[in-house]
């Protein structure tokens, strides 16, 4: 009898010490897509980068009522990557193209809401039939930038959880995929915790009354067996809305809780399109969102899948003979920001390598004839003036613009757009730019009074500025203006800015020089030191561009103010000063 006991002890000791490597849970990714042809290369670009084992992922793609090539692109993608995943299915409802109760393709109606519920129910049924551990719902206007998003969510051990996805949009930055509170009818209600969770001021996993767009459900929880979204449960008495019904079923019938996790930066989403927008308007809106995201991500390129066709707009110079982008060679992130933004916008441009103030010295400037104004006073936000010595960065910035003006004259360019590398484009930039230039070109002005320079973005020092046209309020005559981040310059303006050599002999920051030359500087004593002040400037009433960062904001840095003085000393107050070397005047065509 002793041998069985010894064998039992040996068996337990041996096998209890064997390290067991378990497989990752299986996940069914459920994707709904409709009229999203323009989004799919980006959506799948990020999806493909997920580091979760693809053999543990099945994908169900459902698409319906399409007026574009969404289905064709979905089919192309699934064919190209099918071998990588456990299983891929594409379900397509070809007819009709629109819902019978919809006014247009963006109109969400009762039929559309019921269809969305049916599609989710289909996905849950498919996940159950595959014995999947999880189902992950995601819309194609959600972009998962964290490759470990599934691992992070699974580790939270919550039955129903969403990753925080924040919208990227200049006017809708508070939009996201959760609600902090709801009213008695289940609709969105403002809450104190919402901005704290959204901004990640408070990090963690939080119970909330609503999540949407990207949701992970753990199907091994037996309560999920009660999830039945279609047909709508008889006990539901509210409005037909897919979000409200989904919340009712999850929380009231299945007795589960919603959670939102904001421990990581998981990705971003797009703001839903207005119901009145056409498909083309939607494409423009999404382009704006991508350009905004590039700016927020410090130039990081938007990811596109190599397994699905993506076509950037054909690049052109738009309404101009040339577009110059002034950029310091050592500011590579700003170069990437402009390169990627311009590519999204379909703009051809020339990289104009800026003059680096760090490479300048007093002797070199004297040889060139540069004489910074010794008694220059910097205007402040309250219109008072504070003495500030001209820095090497100021000189480098001025020379960069100066050399662009010089190239215009040498090449006889009639009209160009000049941009600095830290600009952010407003929503619908291309359309607004075309309209603005059409208005500016049709102004009925006497030849000697026709405009030379048109600001696309500036900081106005005064509010009492008159409109250029009697009825049209698109353009104004600017007064004292800060910034030279972006402006349209005509050949006549370039010649006036170069004439007389006053820019070199009495050098001030370039934005101050522009204001002096059109005779609107607030410092009349300073302005009268310049003999010719005949530049005629106009400005867009509503800015088309703005700086990516303003003073006091995170990420703000000035290559002019944070630079050595002419004599090589640090500016008063010893701010951060660059000591990188580089650069000379140089322009390079960039058609990317």
Token pair, residue 417, equals 């757009």
Contact call for residues 152 and 263 (beta carbons, < 8 A): yes
User: What pLDDT shows up at residue 185?
Assistant: 85
CA distances from 510 to 244, 507, 570 (A): 56, 8, 21
Contact call for residues 482 and 558 (beta carbons, < 8 A): no
* Whole-prediction pTM: 0.84
More confident residue, 289 or 83: 83
> Does the pLDDT value for residue 560 go beyond 90?
no
The rounded distance, in Å, linking the Cα atoms of 43 and 33 is: 11
Q: Average pLDDT over the chain, rounded to whole?
A: 87
> Does the pLDDT value for residue 169 go beyond 70?
no
Helix 491-498 / helix 510-517 crossing angle, nearest 10 deg: 100
User: What pLDDT shows up at residue 255?
Assistant: 98
User: What pLDDT shows up at residue 471?
Assistant: 76
Question: What's the 3-state SS for 349-369?
Answer: EEEEECCCHHHCCHHHHHHHC
Q: Delineate the domains of the chain, giving CATH numbers in brackets.
A: 27-269 (3.90.550.10), 322-547 (3.90.550)
Total Cβ atoms within 10 A of residue 501: 9
pLDDT band at residue 148 under the 50/70/90 scheme: very high
Q: Which residues of 137-162 are buried (b: 16+ CB within 10 A; e: fewer)?
A: bbbbbbbbbbeebbebbbeeebbbbb
User: What pLDDT shows up at residue 381?
Assistant: 44
More confident residue, 16 or 518: 518
> What is the tens place of the pLDDT at every residue in 230-285?
999 999 999 999 999 999 999 999 999 999 999 999 999 988 877 777 778 788 88
């Amino acid at each position: 009898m002793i041998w069985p006991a010894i064998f039992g002890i040996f068996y337990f000791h041996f096998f209890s010490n064997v390290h067991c490597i378990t497989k990752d849970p299986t996940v069914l990714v459920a994707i709904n897509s409709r009229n999203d042809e323009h989004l799919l290369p980006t959506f799948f670009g990020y999806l493909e980068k997920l580091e979760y084992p693809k053999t543990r992922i099945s994908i169900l793609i459902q698409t319906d009522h399409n007026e574009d090539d969404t289905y064709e692109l979905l089919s192309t993608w699934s064919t190209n990557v099918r071998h990588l995943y456990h299983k891929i299915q594409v379900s397509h409802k070809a007819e009709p193209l629109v819902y019978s109760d919809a006014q247009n393709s963006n109109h969400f109606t009762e039929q559309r809401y019921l269809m969305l519920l049916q599609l989710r129910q289909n996905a849950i049924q498919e996940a159950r039939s595959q014995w999947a551990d999880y189902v992950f719902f995601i819309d194609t206007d959600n972009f998962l930038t964290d490759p470990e998003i599934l691992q992070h969510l699974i580790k939270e051990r919550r039955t129903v959880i969403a990753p925080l996805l924040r919208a990227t949009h200049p006017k809708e930055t508070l939009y996201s995929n959760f609600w902090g509170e709801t009213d008695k009818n289940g609709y969105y209600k403002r809450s104190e915790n919402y901005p704290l969770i959204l901004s990640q001021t408070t990090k963690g996993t939080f119970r909330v009354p609503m999540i949407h767009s990207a949701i992970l459900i753990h199907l091994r929880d037996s309560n999920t067996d009660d999830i039945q979204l279609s047909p709508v449960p008889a006990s539901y008495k509210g409005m037909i809305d897919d979000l409200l019904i989904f919340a009712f079923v999850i929380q009231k019938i299945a007795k589960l809780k919603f959670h939102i996790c904001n421990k990581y930066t998981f990705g971003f989403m797009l703001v839903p399109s207005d119901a009145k927008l056409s498909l083309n308007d939607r494409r423009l809106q999404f382009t704006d969102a991508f350009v905004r995201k590039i700016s927020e991500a410090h130039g990081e390129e938007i990811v596109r899948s190599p397994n699905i066709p993506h076509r950037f707009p054909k690049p052109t110079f738009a309404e101009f003979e040339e577009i110059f982008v002034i950029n310091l060679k050592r500011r590579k992130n700003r170069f990437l920001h402009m390169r990627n933004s311009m590519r999204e916008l379909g703009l051809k441009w020339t990289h104009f390598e800026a003059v680096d103030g760090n490479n300048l010295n007093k002797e070199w400037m004297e040889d060139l004839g540069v004489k910074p104004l010794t008694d220059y006073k910097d205007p402040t936000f309250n219109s008072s003036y504070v003495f500030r010595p001209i820095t090497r960065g100021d000189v480098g910035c001025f020379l960069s613009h100066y050399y662009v003006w010089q190239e215009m004259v040498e090449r006889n360019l009639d009209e160009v757009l000049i941009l600095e590398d830290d600009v952010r484009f407003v929503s619908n930039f291309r359309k607004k730019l075309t309209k603005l230039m059409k208005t500016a070109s049709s102004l009925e002005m006497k030849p000697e009074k026709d405009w030379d320079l048109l600001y696309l973005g500036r900081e106005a020092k005064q509010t009492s500025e008159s409109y250029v046209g009697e009825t049209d309020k698109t353009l104004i005559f600017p007064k004292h203006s800060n910034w030279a981040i972006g402006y349209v310059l005509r050949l006549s303006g370039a010649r006036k800015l170069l004439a007389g050599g006053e820019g070199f002999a009495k050098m001030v920051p370039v934005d101050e020089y522009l204001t002096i030359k059109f005779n609107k500087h607030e410092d009349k004593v300073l302005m009268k030191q310049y003999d010719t002040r005949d530049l005629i400037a106009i400005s867009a009433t509503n800015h088309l561009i703005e700086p990516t960062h303003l003073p006091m904001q995170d990420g703000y840095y000035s290559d002019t103010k944070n630079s050595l003085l002419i004599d090589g000393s640090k500016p008063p107050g010893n701010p951060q000063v660059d000591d990188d070397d580089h650069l000379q005047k140089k322009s390079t065509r960039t058609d990317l």
